[in-house]
Amino acid sequence: MADVDSTLQGEYAPDRVIVTYSDGGTSAQNFQVRERTRTDVEAVSSKEISPRASRTAVLTLGKNVSVSEAIKRLRNQPGVVYVQPDYKVYALDIPPTDSYFASNSLWGMYGSGTTPANSFGSNAISAWGRGYTGSSSIAVGVVDEGIQISHPDLAANIWVNPGEIAGNGLDDDNNGYIDDINGWDFVNNDNTVFDGRANSTLDAHGTHVSGTIGGRANNGTGVVGVNWNVKIISAKFLGLNGGYTSDAVRALDYLTALKIKGAPIVASNNSWGGGGFDQALLDAIDRGGDAGILFIAAAGNNGQNTDTTANYPSNYVCDGTANNRGWDCIISVASINSTGARSSFSNYGATTVDLGAPGEGIISSVPLNSWANYSGTSMATPHVTGAVALCASMGLTNPRDIKSAILSTVTPRSSLAGITTTGGILNLDGMTTACSGKSAQALLTITNTTLNATPGTSIKLTSNGGSGSGALTYLTPTTGCAITNGDSLTSTNAANCLVYATKAASGSLTAATSPAVTFAFAFTPQATLRIANTVLSNPANVA
């Protein structure tokens, strides 16, 4: 058996270990096992790590017992499944390149056909243009530092626990946490999820990733996230100097418990890493997966091939075999820059990293009511977490299907070919078809245009430049108008048929009065809408 000291990887707490006990035996026998382990390491305390991990405890060691010595003493004892260090992990960002928001450039949200355009962004703008902007009935957990819940770009999207009454000092929802209104701080063991202050970067990282997931739109300030509407739950376990496995387990199990009790959590964002293989952490991830929570993980900032040099937690395989789930609940995310290249700092792996997403020069919210430009796989990860929430808001509920929808619709990039499982980058617009079950629709703006069809005449609507040029199946006529032959608009009464396009989900025609409206039609993106031989919009106008 390998020497314990040679198997310990990374940093860990010097005064404690995590022990998981078997679930066999009587209550008396199990009690004896736990008492024996505490005695053997001269433990000064033993505490259950989480209500959802009742067989796992954190043992605080006696002053004369090291971590390696404790592992040697306990690892082969009857009734002990495993014993490990309480590993330390860190947020995976690169130091900011700008200290304050000085540009309105959100390249990570752009696409090749958007205005502004960037072929290597996530193409969020096109997804928004189709009407997919998220939902307040979908929630994500940010397992990270805390979040400035009062930030003008975040306040409206911060989760409020419906089972708690703020300030009454009671655990109204009986989940073990008193007044967990917006989440929980597992560093300080209290309900204050934001401890940021002037001249400090405390809770900046958690606030930044939250802005990418769900920065509020149309509020006249700052940035916008992948989701204009979503609920963000703070599961704070990182401080200025990182955090520990034991607190990460508590944070993840907190979200799992909320999910089981009915909270609409679809994903956790995990922009952190470090330490060696950690069974306690993997078990917590797996419990979340069994509950239906996807674990979105940063691939790491070492510029390494994680197929050969593991990075945790992104390298874990969460397959839920104990519960016969049979699929991996983790999505591992690499970083790309605005030219489409893999970021030099980003880890990669043909079998261990799934896709790339924008992670360099990402502007988002930071304390106190400010914005900053950060880089790192930490910044790429919330783009994908946001994608999970956006997909769920379209009606796709199975987490396995959501993961498939995201990974199967990536945009292939040579920079990621052969070094990620998909060889591509996040494509939010392409994802909408898989998530909504609807054919992609091009959105074109028709300005100051009316169609006047006199009785007995018709105007033919066709597309040019798209793959579908048949019937306009998304149209429904109003009184005085009819669709004939599937693609022609005809007046059916004595009055002129005055038609304005609308942004109604069905593509219905109404007698509106606005001179500038938007019309969704059932052709592929980048198609051109023609009325008779007059082009009303072209690819440059596609929103």
Q: Which of 105, 92, 147 has the alpha carbon at shortest distance from 379?
A: 92
Whether residue 214 contacts residue 227, with contact meaning beta carbons closer than 8 Å, is answered with: yes
Q: For residue 294, give the 3-state DSSP assignment.
A: strand
pLDDT band at 323 (very low <50, low <70, confident <90, very high): low
Superfamily of domain 97-436: Peptidase S8/S53 domain (3.40.50.200)
Q: Which residues contact 26 (CB under 8 A, 6 or more apart)?
A: none
Over residues 193-228, the pLDDT tens digits come to 999 988 788 999 999 999 999 999 877 778 889 999
**pLDDT on residue 115:** 66
**pLDDT on residue 98:** 34
Whether residue 242 contacts residue 274, with contact meaning beta carbons closer than 8 Å, is answered with: yes
Continuous segment of H or E residues that includes residue 138 = strand 134-144
Q: For residue 135, give the 3-state DSSP assignment.
A: strand
Please state the rounded mean pLDDT for residues 68-92: 88
Least-confidence region, from 168-182, 337-351, 503-517: 503-517
Please state the rounded mean pLDDT for residues 187-192: 96
d(CA 457, CA 312): 67
Residue 278 above 50 pLDDT?
A: yes
pLDDT band at 536 (very low <50, low <70, confident <90, very high): very low
pLDDT band at 54 (very low <50, low <70, confident <90, very high): confident
Which residue would you say has higher pLDDT here, 479 or 442?
479
Which residue would you say has higher pLDDT here, 19 or 486?
19
Whether residue 211 contacts residue 364, with contact meaning beta carbons closer than 8 Å, is answered with: yes
**Per-domain residue ranges for the chain?**
4-91, 97-436, 442-541
The reported pTM is: 0.77
Q: Taking the mean position of all CA atoms in its chain, how far away is CA 305?
A: 23
Please state the rounded mean pLDDT for residues 503-532: 34
- Number of neighbours of residue 520 by Cβ within 10 angstroms: 22
Residue 427 above 70 pLDDT?
A: yes
**pLDDT on residue 507:** 36
Residue 519 above 50 pLDDT?
A: no
Which residue would you say has higher pLDDT here, 512 or 317?
317
Which residue would you say has higher pLDDT here, 123 or 26?
123
Amino acid at 371: W
pLDDT band at 504 (very low <50, low <70, confident <90, very high): very low
Least-confidence region, from 289-293, 317-321, 439-443: 439-443
Please state the rounded mean pLDDT for residues 128-140: 91
Q: Which of 260, 408, 238 has the alpha carbon at shortest distance from 331?
A: 408
Q: In what order do the strands lie in the sheet with 362-366?
A: 94-98, 370-375, 362-366
pLDDT band at 473 (very low <50, low <70, confident <90, very high): very low
**pLDDT on residue 482:** 56
**pLDDT on residue 490:** 55
Over residues 225-257, the pLDDT tens digits come to 999 999 999 999 999 999 999 999 999 999 999
Residue 539 above 50 pLDDT?
A: no
Alpha-carbon torsion (497, 501, 507, 511), positive or negative: negative
**pLDDT on residue 443:** 37
Return the biggest CA–CA distance within the chain. Answer: 98
Pick the CATH number of 4-91 from 3.30.559.10, 3.30.70.80, 3.40.50.970, 3.40.50.2020: 3.30.70.80
Q: What is the DSSP string of 445-511?
A: EEES--EEE-TT-EEEEEEESSS--S--TT----TTEEEETTTEEEE-SSS-EEEB----TT---B-
Secondary structure of 190-244 in the HEC alphabet? ECCCCCCCCCCCCCHHHHHHHHHHHCCCCCCCCCCCCCCEEEEEEEECCECCEEE
Residue 57 CB-half CA count within 13 A: 20
Residue 485 above 80 pLDDT?
A: no
Whether residue 248 contacts residue 89, with contact meaning beta carbons closer than 8 Å, is answered with: yes
Residue 168 above 80 pLDDT?
A: yes
pLDDT band at 530 (very low <50, low <70, confident <90, very high): very low
Which residue would you say has higher pLDDT here, 314 or 92?
314
Which residue would you say has higher pLDDT here, 39 or 449?
39
Residue 96 above 70 pLDDT?
A: no
Amino acid at 420: T
**pLDDT on residue 249:** 97
* Cα-based distances in Å from 197 to 73, 156, 194, 378: 44, 21, 9, 22
Whether residue 286 contacts residue 329, with contact meaning beta carbons closer than 8 Å, is answered with: yes
Over residues 142-157, the pLDDT tens digits come to 999 999 999 999 999 9
448, two tokens: 């100051």
**pLDDT on residue 52:** 84
Which residue is it, tokens 């091939």?
A: 305
What is the residue-averaged pLDDT of the chain?
A: 79
